[in-house]
């Protein structure tokens, strides 16, 4: 895996070294061009001086030179070579340090070019030594045409360039080392917060998200990473908590379902065992079968309820919706309640007429039945049932004057197998699924169901959209 610190150091160092190398080459090239131009200018001045002195009498001659400094700073004294050639290719004058057999044949080509009238700068070899020379055409006494050649060893320039090159090379190495050191420090300062961030992330526990333990970072850019990680950690923690809640709910659901099913199964087995202990009359067997049939129906009803909730959880619970009068559904549900179950309770109704909504009539009837059964089980003396329209919604309210619910109980009452009244017995027919089923059906109609209590009434409110 790539190391950020090392990558920054290598990249920054390589870029810096490349820049310094390119800059050094450019500086060297500029220096070389500048110094070469200055040398050529100095040679041209020397040539003019030599030609001037060579023609100050009635014959062409040269003066013996002594080492002297060029007009180039830092360049030591030089040895000057001078010779003059006429149009017959005869050497008419020369300094003593020039031998005729040393003059290269290539120089004569340059001399021929020089006859064209313009001074020429050339690099030549004189007895194996590199010479920078100027070929300067002129006219001597009596109009005699000639070319004066003035040269100096070119190593004076090479030595200067070598020193400059060495300086540039040293500066490049030193600069690269400094750049690598700086890059290493910068890379460490950039990578260190990420390292600390990684250490914090490794210690983070997504199952116990705490705002006080969120990742911290010193720089804005790294803070963005920390913020994103904290957000991800929070979401992960929430998902894990939700997952654990679902798992716990499933475990509780299975435990409760098993408990609810065990009771009718035990009752059925008990009835059968008692009946089969010894021979009985036919009516006793019929009675036992009726009791067992009731328990089996109870188990079937519970299984149907569990299946409905399971389909709701899987979002496969379908609704056969059609335009129906919700008031009529509520009225039918009330009339279907046996008088023996109502007893001395007062049931007051206020039902809107022709409140037609697109609903599944069987499922909505199931909701109404469950809410009515709950109120019948808890009411002290009165139950009120109301249906009316609000803007784009139909509203159903069923209230009873039974024991009030706390806000916490009002939310928990719609959970599965939740019985808030511990004194309530199973023989009332409740399995603890009625309100959970009502909520699932209402939500499938894109509606809401709530419970609330005041000092006098406990009210269940169902709101479903009319459109």
pLDDT above 70 as % of the chain: 81
- Mean pLDDT in residue range 387-391: 92
Give the pLDDT confidence score for residue 70 in this predicted structure. 43
Residue 368 has pLDDT above 90, yes or no: yes
Give the pLDDT confidence score for residue 460 in this predicted structure. 96
Q: What rounded mean pLDDT belongs to the chain?
A: 80
Residue 459 has pLDDT above 90, yes or no: yes
Residue 134 has pLDDT above 60, yes or no: yes
Give the pLDDT confidence score for residue 68 in this predicted structure. 45
Give the pLDDT confidence score for residue 209 in this predicted structure. 58
Band (pLDDT 50/70/90 cuts) for residue 421 is low
> Nearest Cα to 373, choosing from 344, 336, 348, 408?
336
Kindly report which listed range (161-170, 182-191, 216-225) carries the lowest average pLDDT score.
Answer: 216-225
- Mean pLDDT in residue range 361-369: 92
Give the pLDDT confidence score for residue 330 in this predicted structure. 94
Kindly report which listed range (15-24, 173-182, 307-316, 392-401) carries the lowest average pLDDT score.
Answer: 307-316
Give the pLDDT confidence score for residue 258 in this predicted structure. 77
Give the pLDDT confidence score for residue 217 in this predicted structure. 57
Give the pLDDT confidence score for residue 244 in this predicted structure. 81
Band (pLDDT 50/70/90 cuts) for residue 107 is low
Tens-digit pLDDT profile for residues 175-191 = 888 888 887 887 777 77
Band (pLDDT 50/70/90 cuts) for residue 462 is very high
Residue 401 has pLDDT above 90, yes or no: yes
- Mean pLDDT in residue range 20-40: 86
pTM of the model: 0.49
- Mean pLDDT in residue range 344-368: 92
Give the pLDDT confidence score for residue 420 in this predicted structure. 61
Give the pLDDT confidence score for residue 104 in this predicted structure. 67
Band (pLDDT 50/70/90 cuts) for residue 206 is low
- Mean pLDDT in residue range 258-287: 82
- Mean pLDDT in residue range 249-276: 78
Give the pLDDT confidence score for residue 427 in this predicted structure. 41
- Mean pLDDT in residue range 351-379: 92
The 3-class secondary structure across the chain, one letter per residue, is CCCHHHHHHHHHHHHHHHHHHHHHHHHHHHHHHHHHHHHHHHHHHHHHHHHHHHCCCCCCCCCCCCCEECCCCCCCEECCEEEEEECCCCEEEECCCCCHHHCCHHHHHHHHHHCCCCCEEEEEEECCEEEEEEEEEEECHHHCEEEEEEEEECHHHHHHHHHHHHHHHHHHHHHHHHHHHHHHHHHHHHHHHHHHHHHHHHHCCHHHCCHHHCCCCCCHHHHHHHHHHHHHHHHHHHHHHHHHHHHHHHHHHHHHHHHHHHHHHHHHHHHHHHHCCCCCCHHHHHHHHHHHHHHHHHHHHHHHHHHHHHHHHCCCCCCCCEEEEHHHHHHHHHHCCCHHHHCCCEEEEEECCCCEEEECHHHHHHHHHHHHHHHHHHCCCEEEEEEEEECCEEEEEEEECCCCCCHHHHHHCCCCCCCCCCCCCHHHCCCCCHHHHHHHHHHHCCCEEEEEECCCCEEEEEEEECC
Give the pLDDT confidence score for residue 72 in this predicted structure. 42
Give the pLDDT confidence score for residue 345 in this predicted structure. 92
Band (pLDDT 50/70/90 cuts) for residue 402 is very high
What domains does the chain contain, in order, with CATH numbers? 4-163 (3.30.450), 220-312 (1.10.287.130), 318-465 (3.30.565.10)
Band (pLDDT 50/70/90 cuts) for residue 24 is confident
Distance CA 125, CA 202 (A): 75
- Mean pLDDT in residue range 115-139: 84
Band (pLDDT 50/70/90 cuts) for residue 445 is very high
Buried b (16+ CB within 10 A) or exposed e, 358-376: ebbbebbbbbbbbbbbbbb
Give the pLDDT confidence score for residue 465 in this predicted structure. 94
pLDDT above 90 as % of the chain: 21
- Mean pLDDT in residue range 194-211: 66
Do 448 and 391 form a contact (C-beta atoms < 8 A)? Answer: no
Band (pLDDT 50/70/90 cuts) for residue 66 is very low
Residue 121 has pLDDT above 70, yes or no: yes
């Amino acid at each position: 895996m790539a190391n950020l610190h090392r990558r920054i150091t290598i990249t920054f160092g390589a870029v810096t070294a490349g820049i310094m190398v390119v800059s050094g080459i450019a500086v060297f090239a500029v220096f070389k061009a500048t110094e070469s131009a200055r040398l050529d200018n100095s040679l041209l001045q020397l040539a003019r001086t030599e030609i001037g002195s060579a023609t100050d009498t009635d014959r062409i001659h040269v003066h013996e030179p002594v080492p002297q400094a060029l007009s180039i700073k830092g360049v030591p004294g030089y040895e000057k070579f001078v010779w003059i050639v006429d149009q017959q290719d005869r050497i008419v004058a020369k300094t003593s340090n020039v031998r005729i057999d040393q003059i290269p044949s290539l120089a004569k080509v340059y001399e021929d070019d020089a006859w064209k009238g313009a001074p020429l700068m050339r690099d030549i070899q004189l007895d194996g030594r590199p010479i920078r020379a100027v070929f300067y055409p002129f006219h001597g006494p009596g109009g005699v045409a000639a070319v004066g050649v003035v040269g100096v060893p070119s190593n004076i320039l090479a030595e200067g360039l070598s020193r400059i090159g060495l300086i540039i090379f040293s500066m490049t190495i030193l600069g690269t080392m400094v750049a690598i050191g700086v890059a290493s420090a910068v890379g460490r300062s950039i990578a260190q917060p990420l390292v600390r961030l990684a250490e914090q992330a490794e210690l983070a526990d997504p199952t116990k998200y705490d705002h006080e333990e969120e990742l911290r970072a010193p720089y804005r850019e790294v803070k963005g990473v920390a913020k994103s990680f904290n957000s991800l950690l929070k979401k992960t923690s929430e998902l894990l908590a939700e997952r654990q809640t679902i798992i716990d709910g499933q475990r509780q659901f299975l435990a409760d379902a098993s408990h609810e099913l065990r009771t009718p199964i035990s009752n059925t087995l008990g009835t059968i065992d008692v009946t089969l202990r010894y021979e009985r009359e036919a009516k006793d067997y019929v009675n036992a079968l009726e009791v067992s049939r009731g328990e089996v129906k109870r188990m079937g009803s519970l299984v149907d309820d569990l299946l409905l909730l399971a389909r709701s959880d899987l979002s496969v619970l379908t609704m056969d919706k059609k335009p129906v009068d919700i008031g009529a559904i509520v009225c039918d549900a009330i009339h279907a309640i046996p008088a023996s179950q109502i007893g001395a309770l007062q049931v007051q109704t206020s039902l809107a007429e022709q409140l037609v909504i697109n609903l599944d009539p069987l499922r909505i009837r199931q909701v109404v039945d469950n809410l009515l059964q709950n109120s019948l089980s808890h009411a002290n003396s009165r139950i009120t049932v109301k249906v009316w329209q609000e803007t784009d919604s139909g509203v159903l309210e069923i209230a009873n004057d039974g024991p009030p619910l706390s806000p916490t109980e009002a939310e928990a009452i719609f959970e599965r197998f939740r019985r808030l009244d511990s004194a309530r017995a199973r023989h009332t027919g409740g399995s603890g699924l009625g309100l959970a089923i009502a909520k699932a059906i209402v939500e499938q109609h894109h509606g809401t169901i709530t419970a609330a209590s005041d000092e006098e009434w406990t009210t269940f409110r169902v709101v479903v959209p009319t459109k």
